[in-house]
Amino acid sequence: MGFVEDMRGPKAGFFHGNSERSARKCALAIPVLPIANAPSAGLVRIRGRVLPSEQGIGRAPLSGREVIWYQVELYEHMGSGTASFWQRVLRESVGCEFLVDDGSGQPARVRPGGATADFAQPLVAECGGSFGFLAQEDTAMLDAFLAARGLVGTGVLGFRRHLRCEEQVIVPGDVVCAMGQARWVAGQTAGIGYGAAPTSQLWLGSVEGPDGQLYLTDKTDEQMGQLGARGAFRIGFLVLFILPFVLMLLLFLVILGGIAMCGVLGSIGVL
């Protein structure tokens, strides 16, 4: 079985820092093509139903589901108040090659190594924090996950660390959109005797270089567009409302400083 580890720990991607937002924007700029009509090179986007390859399937560590591929990201909550943030401790992406069938002909083969994952509803397990254990089953699940990787869920003083774990999976039958560098690979000869022709298969995967990384998502184009519009709305809100307020505050401080300076100069007889 080809269910092997792809990466462990932080790893930079090619979509400008492994950003799902950058990958999503890049994907929306490329039309979905039928697999049979995909070019022999370049960045290609396809959508279809996932089928297992001859490499088989494996099991996800948190949900225990039989999957073709999974990615787990572990975060720890650091700091407090407005200075708090989530720091990624571990990223583990494990899986095997799988097929995507859109009904146009030969299914495409996807090699998920180094993929940027962007799934709608990842499994989330969280424990620790100011309010104790958020869920007992999450605590047990995370403890087993951490122990298998030589990690612990408690700090130096024995208090529970505030941890959050997200699991994204691909299972047989899922409909996914895959974007990556394409190439057609020659296969076995189809047919016997006169008229037999060699078959070929589209392969998608990651390559080194700008925008060379594979992008996997179960979102529709409409869902990806809504997420992009949401980000644009936040930026617009910042520009239209927050920025003018900040400029007015700065102007007020400048005027206040000028008045104070005039008072000081007047008191010493300069004005």
Mean pLDDT in residue range 129-152: 71
| 3-state SS, residue 201 | strand
Per-residue model confidence (pLDDT) at position 178: 92
According to DSSP, the β-strands at 163-170 and 98-101 are: unpaired
Q: Residue 39 pLDDT more than 60?
A: yes
Per-residue model confidence (pLDDT) at position 229: 45
Task: Provide the percentage of residues in the chain whose pLDDT is more than 70.
Answer: 72
Q: Give the residue among 125, 100, 117 at the shortest CA–CA distance from 204.
A: 100
Looking at per-residue pLDDT, the higher value among 89 and 213 belongs to 89
Looking at per-residue pLDDT, the higher value among 259 and 86 belongs to 86
CA gap 103, 107 in Å, rounded: 8
Q: Residue 1 pLDDT more than 50?
A: no
- Tens-digit pLDDT profile for residues 5-24: 554 443 333 333 346 777 78
CA gap 254, 249 in Å, rounded: 9
Neighbouring CB atoms inside 10 A of 216's CB total 24
Longest dimension (CA), the chain: 110
Question: In this structure, what token pair is assigned to residue 256?
Answer: 């206040």
Q: What is the mean pLDDT of the chain?
A: 77
CA gap 189, 185 in Å, rounded: 12
**Residues 6 and 98 sit within 8 Å (Cβ to Cβ):** no
CA gap 77, 80 in Å, rounded: 9
Q: Sorting pLDDT into bands at 50, 70 and 90, what band is 110?
A: very high
**Residues 173 and 218 sit within 8 Å (Cβ to Cβ):** no
CA gap 205, 213 in Å, rounded: 7
